[in-house]
Structure 1
C-alpha cells in the first residue's frame, strides 16, 4: 500500500435509505443510515436475514443505488463500482481454465497491466496468503479454503483501499473457517486496508472487527454500533471475549 494508507479508505454513509418492492408495496431495508468508517478499520455487519446486510454491502460496492442518501469514500460520492474497492464473495468464483497465478493476475491484466508485471505483483499476494507452492495449480485441484485464499489474493492484487466481504468464510468447514479467520486478521493488519465484513457468525464478527454494526428487521429498532475493545491477537476462550459474545447474542434475544 502507499504511504498515505492511513488517510485513504475512509467511508461515510449519509442518510442512506433503500427499499424494495414486495407485492406492490415498498419494503424498507435501510432507513436513514449514517455512519463513519475509519480508514484501516475492520467493521463487521451482523443481523437476521432480510435486515439489509448484503444490500448495504452492495451499496458500498456500487452494485446497487440508494433511494436516498450518499456513500462517500475519502469525501467523494461514489458513482458505481470503483478501483478503490474490491469485493470477496462466499464463493471465490475462480476461472477454472486459469491457474492460481493467472487467476490472481487476471484483474490487473484486464486493466491494461502487462502480463509479466501483473504476474510479479500476483506472486507477492499469492505468497501473502500462503499459496506460493500452488501458483501453477488449477481451481479443481484446490480445497475450499485454498480457493478462498486465491480469491483474497486476487482482490488484494489490485491494491484496493477497501475490502468488502460478503460471508467470505460461510461455505468452509469449521476448522478451515477458524484458520481463515486467523489469516484474514493477519492479512488485514499487514495490508492496512479498510475491511467491511458481512457475517452471520457472531464469534467471527468479534474475532475480526474493531466495531460491529447490528442491523434489525424491526422498523422500530435502529442500527446499533458496538465497540470490540479487545486486544489482538484475540483469544476466543478469554473471559472478555466470551462476555462480548454474550452481549451480541443478547442483541438477538439469544442466551
Structure 2
C-alpha cells in the first residue's frame, strides 16, 4: 500500500529546452531544443556520453539551474526554481554526521515547516522502515555502509512525499553487489510509492532494469535526443533475451559493440 497521497501527479513537460555554458569566452552548447513529456508515475532514465547534458537537464528539472531557452512544466505549471513537489538524491547521500538515521530522515520535514516534530518523527520512521533500516534508527552515518547511507538518503527524499524523485547517479559509488541490491530496492520503492522517477545514470544495464523509457542525449548538439521504450515486465530478468536485446541496442547506439 502506498504511503504517498493520492493527489500527487508529477507529470513533467519539457518544451524546446536549451542551455549553454561559457568556455574561454565562447558559448558551449550543452542542451539543444529538448522536448519531452514524462508521464505521471513513470520511471525515466537519462543516459548519454560525458558532456551530453544529463546532469544539467536534471538540475534544470530540480530548479537548481535555469535554461537559456524553453520551459519546464510540472502538472501544467512552469517551474520557477526549487519546489516542494520535487526531491533530489545525489550520488553522495550528504547525511549530517551529527544526526542519527531517524533525525537525518526527519531533517527535510523539520526545515520545510508545517509539520509538527512528532509528525515528522512518525513519518520519518515509516520511511526508515520502508527502506529496511528500522534496526538502525539510532545509528550515525559513520556507522553505516555505503548502501545503507544511500538508503537513508532515499528515505529522506521520500519523507517529504514528493511528486517527482530526481536521482543523479545515486548508485554510482557502490560496489557491484550492493548496486544490484539497491536497484531491486529502488524498483520496489517506485512501485510502492507511485512517484514519478527521473534517473541520470552512466550504467546502461541499470537504465534498462529501472526505467519504463530511456532518454538518450546526443553529444552532437545538432542531433535530436532519442527515446527507447523498455517493454519488459517487472521484476526484470537481466539474462532474458528481451533484456539482452535492449542492452545490445544501447551498446550499438553508443558504438560500444
Match of 1:122 among 121, 124, 133: 124
Matched with 1:81 is 82
Corresponding pairs, count: 253
CA distance in 1, matches of 2:51, 2:205: 20
Q: Deviations over 1:25-45 (max 9, x none)?
A: 111111111100000000000
Secondary structure of the 1:110 match is: helix
- Residue by residue, what CA displacement relative to the aligned partner does 1:46-85 show, whole Å, maximum 9, x if unpaired? 0000000000000000000000100000000011000000
Where does structure 1 lack aligned partners over 5 or more consecutive residues? Answer: none
Q: What do residues 76-133 of structure 1 show as CA deviations (whole Å, max 9, x unaligned)?
A: 0011000000000000000000000000001101122222110100000000000000
Q: Aligned with 1:170: secondary structure?
A: coil
Inter-partner Cα distance in structure 2 for 1:219 and 1:153: 37
Written as runs of structure 1 = structure 2, the 5 A alignment for 1:24-173 is 24-112=25-113, 113-173=115-175
Partner of 1:244 in structure 2? 246
CA distance in 2 between counterparts of 1:216 and 1:11 reads: 21
RMSD: 0.7
5 Å matches for 1:181-192?
Answer: 181-192=183-194
Runs of 4+ in 1 over 3 A off after TM superposition: none
Match of 1:3 in 2: 6
- TM-score by length of structure 1 reads 0.98
With normalisation by structure 2, the TM-score equals 0.97
Is 1:254 the counterpart of 2:256? The answer is yes
